[in-house]
């Protein structure tokens, strides 16, 4: 008997993850994520604890469903939304006031029951209480400017400026939150070689339908 092909959302929606050194306009589809909220500097204790909880939940849910014969899928790459209480231009304020939502895209058929079972299993093994904060989020960004950033995270602002100028040339402007998709592992590569997709939703053209809410 032939095994069903493992679901890989990154490949299935590859058009949404294409990015080069020049900004482009793309159209994204609604997506479901495992997500956890936090505040503070990237790489800080809270940030690292949230990443650990997110991945623990993602892999526990995946393996539980696989062993139960409910299908297998690839755990997607880490993503993040970045903003601040003082406005969406988070780069201009101290990092300890940065707000973020760390996310891993997950199949639509993953539900709250899967999360509850995974959290209970992890807590029974002595894992941190943070796993209980992982939730499901729907994201519908629609039309976005997207660009590949190569280099340290500290220089992301330079790429954002290029994207903003491109949006102006196209007669539109940023809306929503700054979105990053991490293609590289900073533990294995030097900062100058890190690759990150930067994405920012933009206003729809005049006369278009009212945009849907960003998250549920």
Structure confidence by residue, pLDDT tens digits, 167-215: 999 999 999 899 999 999 988 999 999 999 999 999 976 555 544 445 4
Query: Given this model, what pLDDT does residue 21 score?
Result: 95
Please give the full DSSP string across 23-79, using - where no structure is assigned.
-EEEEPPPEEEEEEEEES-TTSHHHHHHHHHHHHHHHHHHHHHHHTTS--B----EE
pLDDT of residue 205: 64
The predicted structure's pLDDT at residue 2: 39
How many Cα atoms are found within 13 Å in the side-chain-facing hemisphere of 94? 2
CA distance 115 to 44: 25
Q: Which strands, in side-by-side order, build the sheet including 24-27? A: 24-27, 143-150, 195-201, 178-182, 78-84, 98-105, 31-39, 135-139
Query: Can you give the residue ranges of every domain in the chain?
Result: 9-201
Question: Residue 3: helix, strand or coil by DSSP?
Answer: coil
Q: What is the per-residue pLDDT for 34?
A: 98
The pLDDT of residue 86: 73
CATH code, 9-201: 3.20.80.10
| Distance separating alpha carbons of residues 138 and 141, to the nearest angstrom | 10
- pLDDT tens over the chain, length 216 residues: 334 679 999 999 999 999 999 999 999 999 999 999 999 989 899 999 999 999 999 999 999 999 999 989 999 999 999 998 776 567 778 888 899 999 999 999 999 999 999 999 999 999 989 999 999 999 999 999 999 999 999 999 999 999 999 999 999 999 989 999 999 998 899 999 999 999 999 997 655 554 444 544
């Amino acid at each position: 008997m032939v095994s069903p092909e493992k679901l890989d959302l990154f490949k299935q929606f590859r058009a949404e993850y294409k990015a080069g050194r020049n900004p482009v306009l793309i159209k994204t589809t609604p997506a479901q994520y495992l997500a956890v909220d936090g505040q503070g500097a990237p790489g800080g204790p809270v940030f690292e604890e949230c990443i650990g909880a997110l991945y623990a939940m993602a892999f526990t849910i995946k393996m539980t469903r696989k062993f139960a014969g409910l299908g297998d899928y690839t755990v997607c790459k880490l993503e993040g939304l970045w903003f601040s209480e003082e406005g969406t231009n988070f780069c201009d304020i101290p990092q300890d006031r940065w707000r973020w939502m760390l996310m891993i895209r997950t199949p639509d058929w993953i539900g709250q029951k899967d999360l509850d079972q995974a959290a209970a299993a992890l807590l029974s093994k002595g894992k941190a209480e943070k796993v209980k904060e992982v939730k499901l989020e729907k994201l519908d960004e629609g039309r976005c400017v997207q660009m590949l950033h190569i280099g340290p995270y500290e220089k992301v602002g330079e790429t954002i400026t290029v994207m903003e100028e491109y949006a102006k040339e196209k007669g539109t402007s940023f809306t929503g939150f700054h979105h990053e998709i991490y293609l590289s592992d900073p533990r294995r590569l030097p900062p100058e070689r890190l690759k990150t997709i930067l994405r920012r939703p933009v206003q729809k053209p005049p006369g278009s339908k009212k945009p849907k809410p960003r998250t549920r």
